[in-house]
Amino acid sequence: MTGFWRYFWMLYMLFFAVPFPMIIYYASTYGKESPDTAPWLALSWLALSVVLWALVLGRLARRWIVQPFIVKKNFARLAKAGVRKAGRILESKMLKTSSGGAEARKITFSFTNFAGTPITEDMELTDTQPALRRYENGKTITLLVDDTLRSIPVICLEDMKIGVKISRMLWLGITWCIITAAVIYYYQFSYLSENGGAGWRFLRFYHPLVLCPLILLAEIFFFTKLLRFIGGKPSDLLRTKYYGIRTDAEIVSANQTGTYINEQPQIRFELRFQDSSGRTHTATLKKVISLLDLGITKQSSIPVFYQKDHPEKIAFASDLED
């Protein structure tokens, strides 16, 4: 899924998780129903609401505030225990130059994975010494790779220095505090405007205090499953890329499954290939194909990666090289 569609669907689902339930609630039931929910049930809805909002805010805190420090810790571990590999820069693109002369770059480089297969990766970095021209096309670099593939990142440059952007962390922290304050204020607003002298007995399942965080968590779960449905399980794809062997697979059949994502059809491929030992394997793979790329279903063969110990786990080479 491209960056544009990822953000589009995130905003789309956010609208239906927060503003939409509020619009429906205040346009239809607000002020028209007496607070007559049974006390035990109202307190149950209140407790459920608090737990759901805590899960939502906790997930945001982990992603925005805690995760950068986890990544920094993982970099430090990778610097000590990472497997060294030689790489070659295929493309180097300057993104911007800071006032201090440092250059933000995006590089594409190649190296051999743990099965001896050449693969490529992209990386964004800040070159604090551009005069040395260390990251130009054709330059050799030393990489550190996590052979367990258990944490992010799994690869970095040997001489890379990692830091946490204080300004970005500050803005994310302020944003999280604003969201948390808004949730607390909404509890207060709802209570003062709806209690009618009966406490929390105005709470119902469809009240935004309960429904909004429930929909948010459900959408997070759905969105995660959707990404896996489109592109496969990230951990499997990563292992296939870093431990996989490349070969050409014969396309035995390619048929539509009847599922469409953004009006793009999902295709079920049946593939046949020989492993490095000469044994023949048959595997199936589902992939959402752009209408402009449907011609690949007519090809006789297509490059794939397969895991030596689990040859049924395969991936299209194009999906691992994007």
Contact 215, 15 (CB under 8 A): no
What's the N-to-C CA distance of the chain in angstroms? 11
CA-to-CA distance for 82 and 70, rounded, in angstroms?
Answer: 17
Residues facing 272 on adjacent strands: 250, 282
How far apart CA 306 and CA 244 sit, in angstroms, is 5
Distance CA 107, CA 124 (A): 6
pLDDT at residue 231 greater than cutoff 60? no
Rounded to two decimals, the pTM is: 0.76
pLDDT given for residue 165 in this prediction: 78
* CA–CA separation, 268 and 271 (whole Å): 10
Per-residue pLDDT tens over the stretch 244-283: 999 999 999 999 988 887 788 989 999 999 998 899 999 9
Is residue 7 pLDDT above 80, yes or no?
no
- In angstroms, the CA 210 to CA 205 distance is 6
- Cα-flanking dihedrals φ and ψ of residue 254, to 5°? -145, 110
136 is written with which tokens? Answer: 């130009």
The two structure tokens encoding residue 254: 């390619």
User: In the prediction, which pLDDT does 217 show?
Assistant: 92
